[in-house]
Amino acid sequence: MSNNKRKLSASTPAATSHPPPKKRSFQASGSGGGGATMAAVGYGVTFGAAGEKSELELLQYQNQSLSTLLKEKKEEISSLRTKLRTVEAKERESSNGLAYVTQHWSSLDENLHTVLATIEPATVDEILREESRRVHPPEDERSFLQMLLGDEGDLMNEEERKDIKKEKELGNEDEQELDEEEAEARDEEYQKLLLKQRIDPALERRSSFTKQILIRVCDALQKQKRRSDDLARRLQDAASLERVMVEESNGLREQVAGLDKLVAKLQHKNMELSRGYSSAKTGWVQAEQKIRVLTMDIEDFKADLSTCHNRIERLNKALQEAQTKAATAAANAPAPAAAASTSSSSSSSPSLGSHEAPEEVQKIREELADARTVEENRLKEIQKLRQDRAELKNELNELNDKLLNLPEHVVRTSPAFRMLETHLQMAVMDYESQRGLCSQLQRSVATLEQERREEKDRAQKNEQARRQELEKEIKEKDAALARIRGERDNLIYRLEQKKASLPSQQLINEFKMTIATLQDQSAKLRKELEKLREQKDKERGREPERAHTSEPRAPEVAELQEKVKVLQRGMDDFKRKHDDAQRELRSITESLPREQRELHEIRRNERKLADENTYLKSRLAKYEPKNKLEKDYPRLLSKADQSIRELQKSLDATKAENAAYLSEMEVISKEFESTMEQNTRLLHELSDKDETTTKLMSDRIKSEQLQNQLREETKQLQFQIKLAGERYEQQKELLKREETKAKMIEEQMIKANEQISSFTNLIEAHKRAARDAAQQLVEFKAKLDQATAALAEYKKKLDEQSSALERGEDKISRLMEERNTLKRKVERLSARGSVDTLLEEEVSTLRKMLRCPVCNDNMKDTVITRCFHVFCNPCVKSRLQLRNRKCPGCAKPFGENDVHSIYLGFDDVKDEED
- The pLDDT score that the predictor gives to residue 175 is 44
Among the residue ranges 81-85, 351-355, 392-396, the one predicted with the least confidence is 351-355
Q: Hey, what amino acid is at 168? A: K
Task: Tell me the domain boundaries of the chain.
Answer: 48-236, 504-703, 852-913
* Averaged pLDDT, 859-875: 89
pLDDT band (50, 70, 90) for residue 147: very low
CA distance 139 to 126: 22
pLDDT band (50, 70, 90) for residue 193: low
Is the distance from CB of 159 to CB of 87 less than 8 angstroms?
Answer: yes
Q: What are phi and psi of 851, to 5 degrees?
A: -85, 155
* Averaged pLDDT, 661-681: 72
Q: pLDDT tens, 850-860?
A: 888 888 888 88
Length of the chain: 914
334-348 vs 35-119: helix axis angle to the nearest 10? 160
Residue 386's contacts (CB-CB under 8 Å, 6 or more residues apart) are: none
End-to-end CA distance of the chain: 15
Rounded to two decimals, the pTM is 0.25
- The pLDDT score that the predictor gives to residue 410 is 62
Q: Hey, what amino acid is at 77? A: I
Q: Hey, what amino acid is at 591? A: S
Long-range interactions of 783-791: CB distance < 8 A, separation 24+ = 783/298, 784/294, 784/297, 784/298, 784/301, 787/298, 787/301, 787/305, 790/305, 791/301, 791/304, 791/305, 791/308
Q: pLDDT tens, 25-48?
A: 333 333 333 333 333 333 333 334
CA distance 593 to 168: 130
Helix ranges (H only) for 502-553 are 504-541, 543-549
* Averaged pLDDT, 45-53: 51
433: pLDDT strictly greater than 70 = yes
Residue 581's contacts (CB-CB under 8 Å, 6 or more residues apart) are: 679, 682, 683
Q: pLDDT tens, 515-525?
A: 777 767 767 77
CA distance 707 to 417: 94
- The pLDDT score that the predictor gives to residue 680 is 75
Q: pLDDT tens, 435-460?
A: 777 677 778 778 877 887 888 888 88
- The pLDDT score that the predictor gives to residue 2 is 40
Is the distance from CB of 690 to CB of 684 less than 8 angstroms?
Answer: no
- The pLDDT score that the predictor gives to residue 367 is 66
DSSP per residue over 619-634, as a string?
A: HHHHHHHHHHHHHTHH
Is the distance from CB of 305 to CB of 788 less than 8 angstroms?
Answer: no
Quote the mean pLDDT of the chain: 67
**Residue 860 per-residue DSSP state:** P
Higher pLDDT, 446 or 622: 446
CA distance 389 to 801: 12
Winning range, highest mean pLDDT, from 81-90, 188-197, 691-700: 81-90
Q: Across the strands, what pairs with 869?
A: 864
CA distance 481 to 177: 111
Is the distance from CB of 819 to CB of 827 less than 8 angstroms?
Answer: no
- The pLDDT score that the predictor gives to residue 108 is 76
CA distance 810 to 319: 12
Q: pLDDT tens, 877-897?
A: 888 888 888 898 888 888 888
CA distance 250 to 121: 12
Q: Across the strands, what pairs with 733?
A: none
CATH placement of domain 852-913 = 3.30.40.10
18: pLDDT strictly greater than 50 = no
Is the distance from CB of 630 to CB of 550 less than 8 angstroms?
Answer: yes
3-state secondary structure of 16: coil
Q: What are phi and psi of 119, to 5 degrees?
A: -80, -45
- The pLDDT score that the predictor gives to residue 640 is 53
Is the distance from CB of 783 to CB of 301 less than 8 angstroms?
Answer: no
CA distance 411 to 283: 16
* Averaged pLDDT, 170-194: 54
- The pLDDT score that the predictor gives to residue 459 is 80
Q: What does each C-alpha distance from 428 to 142, 281, 761 come to in angstroms?
A: 33, 10, 14
Q: What are phi and psi of 169, to 5 degrees?
A: -105, 35
Q: pLDDT tens, 365-406?
A: 676 677 677 767 767 777 777 777 777 777 777 766 766 665
Is the distance from CB of 334 to CB of 53 less than 8 angstroms?
Answer: yes
**Residue 859 per-residue DSSP state:** B
pLDDT band (50, 70, 90) for residue 677: confident
Is the distance from CB of 813 to CB of 374 less than 8 angstroms?
Answer: yes
Q: Hey, what amino acid is at 896? A: E
Is the distance from CB of 17 to CB of 891 less than 8 angstroms?
Answer: no
3-state secondary structure of 335: helix
Q: What are phi and psi of 305, to 5 degrees?
A: -65, -40
Query: How many C-beta atoms surround the C-beta of residue 819 within 10 A?
Result: 19
632: pLDDT strictly greater than 60 = no
- The pLDDT score that the predictor gives to residue 629 is 54
CA distance 49 to 43: 10
CA distance 361 to 216: 114
CA distance 27 to 853: 32
Strand 7-8 to 899-903 pairing: antiparallel
